[in-house]
Amino acid sequence: MDETILAEKEAMLESIRSDVADFGKERRDLIPILQMIQERHAYLSPEAIKTVAEHLDIPTCEVFGVATFYNQFRFHPPGRHPIKVCLGTACHVRAGDIILENFERKLGIRDGETTSDKEFSIERVACVGCCALAPVALVGETVHGKMAPSKVEGLLLRIQIEKEKAERERREEEEK
Ligand code: FES
């Protein structure tokens, strides 16, 4: 593994260990601890789960079992372009599930996963509060309303083109 990534992981774990130490050691502390880790680090790594299990003195599989029971927890770091597909009622009845499937197929990952180049992650979410625009998908903070399964490819292509443009501009800037 790349040394920088390894150092980042170690620093994250160190910070998790220190934050977890501030919590109680009762089973009722489990969900608040998991929420705190997800809020600060965006996902629960296997090492984070092990740290929580050690703190509460319960089996790792029990922590993992509880975390997977709730939809709110992620087990992979979000991509640089996190995609959220709304599956609240208004979006679901307008083919939200097919839009999600299309993103999954085009990117070769499933809901909750991140592409190996860390560019994209996909997550299903409940109502994001703009039902009048249903069906809705978010890329980062940008809301894409009136989505359709056929728009998925174009949206991903646009992100790719914008990324290439930004890289070109950055290179040109460096060459000046
Ligand atoms: S159900 Fe999707 S925005 Fe409300």
Ligand 1 atom with the shortest distance to the CA of 133? 3
- Determine, yes or no, domain membership for 119: yes
pLDDT value, residue 72: 82
Please indicate, yes or no, if residue 20 is contained in any of the structural domains.
Answer: yes
Same domain, 171 and 96: yes
Give pTM, 2 decimals: 0.76
Q: Using a 6 Å cutoff on CB, does residue 138 contact ligand 1?
A: no
User: What CA–CA distance (Å, rounded) separates 59 from 29?
Assistant: 15
Establish whether residue 136 lines the binding site of ligand 1, counting it when its CB lies within 6 angstroms of any ligand atom: yes
**75 within some domain:** no
76 is a domain residue: no
Residues 164 and 87 placed together within one structural domain of the fold = yes
97 and 127 part of one domain: yes
Q: 120-156: per-residue pLDDT in tens? A: 999 999 899 999 999 999 998 899 999 999 999 999 9
Residue 70: the pLDDT is 83
Task: Identify whether 8 is part of a domain.
Answer: yes
Domain end (from 69, 90, 118)? 69
Residue 134 Cβ < 6 Å to ligand 1: yes
Q: What size, in residues, is the chain?
A: 176
Structural domain harbouring 38:
3-69
Asked whether residue 85 falls in the same domain as residue 133, the answer is yes
Give the distance (Å) from ligand 1 centre to CA of residue 28.
Answer: 32
Output the residue whose Cα is nearest ligand 1's atom 1. Answer: 88
DSSP 8-class letter at 108: T
- At 146, the amino acid letter reads K
The tokens for 96 are: 């939200």
**Residue 77: its pLDDT value, please?**
86
Measured in Å, residue 161 CA sits from the centre of ligand 1 at: 28
Q: Which of 35, 69, 103 is the last residue of a domain?
A: 69
CATH of the domain at 158: 3.40.30.10
Mutating to test ligand 1, I would choose from 94, 100, 124, 136 the residue with most ligand atoms within 8 A of its C-beta, which is 136
Ligand 1 and 88: CB distance under 6 A = yes
User: What tens digit of pLDDT does each residue of 105-116 get?
Assistant: 999 999 989 999
Residue 147 beta carbon below 6 angstroms from any ligand 1 atom: no
- Reply yes or no on whether the pLDDT at 13 is more than 70: yes
Residue bearing tokens 């625009």? 133
3-state secondary structure of 54: helix
Asked if residue 9 is part of any domain, the answer here is yes
Asked whether residue 61 falls in the same domain as residue 116, the answer is no
C-alpha neighbours within 13 Å on the C-beta side of residue 55: 24
Lowest mean pLDDT among 13-22, 39-48, 64-73: 64-73
Together in a domain, 51 and 99 = no
Q: Which of 19, 40, 69 is the last residue of a domain?
A: 69
For residue 50, give the CATH number of its domain: 1.10.10
61 and 90 share one domain: no
Residue 16 is which amino acid?
I
Assigned domain for 74 exists: no
Look at residue 169 and tell me if it is in a domain: yes
